[in-house]
Amino acid sequence: MILFERVTKRYPNGREALRAASFSIDRGEMVFLTGRSGAGKSTVLKLIAMLERPTRGTVLVNGQNLGTLKSRHLPAYRRTLGVVFQEHRLLDDRPVFDNVALPLVVAGASASEVGKRVRAALDQVGLLGKERMLPNELSVGEQQRVGIARAVVAKPAVLIADEPTGNLDPDLSVEVMKLFKRFQDVGVTVIIATHDLHVVHEFGQRTIVLDDGLIQGSADTPLPSMTATR
């Protein structure tokens, strides 16, 4: 599903965020990316979302080599992804419904289809009935769930999340992770970058550990020595 082959990413300031990183993630897998800040977690997600292009190496997503993806096909590719951020990135001047509907509207879905699927997505994250509210009127946890609803509303094959629990207390964090687990259960490939080792341990999914741009290891459950990097 997702394959990184000796991927190096050097930013214009000279910093190497990834150094010849290779790993693969199977379809329907849920994987945690961990490591201290600056270890390269976000860069992996940016490369998958085509927010950045690799300096060297190959990134394959769903059989598509992102290095050869033409920029005019980029919008269509991005519609196959769902992206969740730490700061939820909602449009503050639009109600919850419009925010969640955006990926469907962009894809040209009909109004009835948009209504049906937005309500389904809001139902999944437990926010049905708040669709008319503005993001600012919601709690931080609710805002994050709106962001997740927006990421999954178009039924993406891959869901990536960058520190989705960074602003949440432990109870809310577990709740959000359970939500991600439910999407994995229905066949979505889920990749979560987090340094929240508490939830990593709790969920016991495969974990890829990054340190200074290098893959330190990959294990079905993180070893104490790997998690000690924090």
Question: Does the footprint of other proteins cover residue 226 (CB under 8 A)?
Answer: no
By CB under 8 A, name the one of 76, 140, 186, 219 that touches other proteins. Answer: 76
Secondary structure (DSSP) of 56-120: EEEEEETTEEGGG--GGGHHHHHTTEEEE-SS----TTS-HHHHHHHHHHHTT--HHHHHHHHHH
By CB under 8 A, name the one of 17, 18, 25, 45 that touches other proteins. Answer: 45
Q: Which positions from 4 to 43 touch other proteins by CB under 8 A, shown as an x/- string? A: --------------------------------------x-
Contact 39, 15 (CB under 8 A): no
Report the candidate in 96, 140, 102, 141 with the shortest Cα–Cα distance to residue 122.
96
Q: How many CB atoms lie within 10 A of CB 47?
A: 24
Which of 159, 226 has the CB closer to other proteins?
159
* Stretch near other proteins under the rule CB under 8 A, chosen from 16-24, 106-114, 127-135, 212-220: 106-114
Q: Residues touching other proteins: how many (CB under 8 A)?
A: 29
Question: Does the footprint of other proteins cover residue 79 (CB under 8 A)?
Answer: yes
Question: Does the footprint of other proteins cover residue 85 (CB under 8 A)?
Answer: yes
Residues in 110-129 that interact with other proteins by CB under 8 A:
110-111
Contact 31, 217 (CB under 8 A): no
Q: How far is 54 from 51, CA to CA, in rounded Å?
A: 10
* Stretch near other proteins under the rule CB under 8 A, chosen from 23-31, 73-81, 212-220, 221-229: 73-81
**Distances from the Cα of 115 to the Cα of 38, 66, 91, 102, 108, angstroms:** 40, 32, 18, 11, 13
Question: Does the footprint of other proteins cover residue 102 (CB under 8 A)?
Answer: yes
Task: Say which DSSP state 132 is in.
Answer: T
By CB under 8 A, name the one of 9, 19, 41, 46 that touches other proteins. Answer: 46
By CB under 8 A, name the one of 21, 30, 109, 199 that touches other proteins. Answer: 109
Q: How far is 39 from 194, CA to CA, in rounded Å?
A: 11
Query: Is the alpha carbon torsion for 187, 188, 191, 194 positive or negative?
Result: negative
Minimum distance of other proteins from residue 146's CB (angstroms): 12
In the complex, which residues of this chain contact other proteins (CB under 8 A)?
42, 45-46, 49, 51-52, 75-79, 81, 83, 85, 89-91, 102-103, 105-111, 150, 154, 162
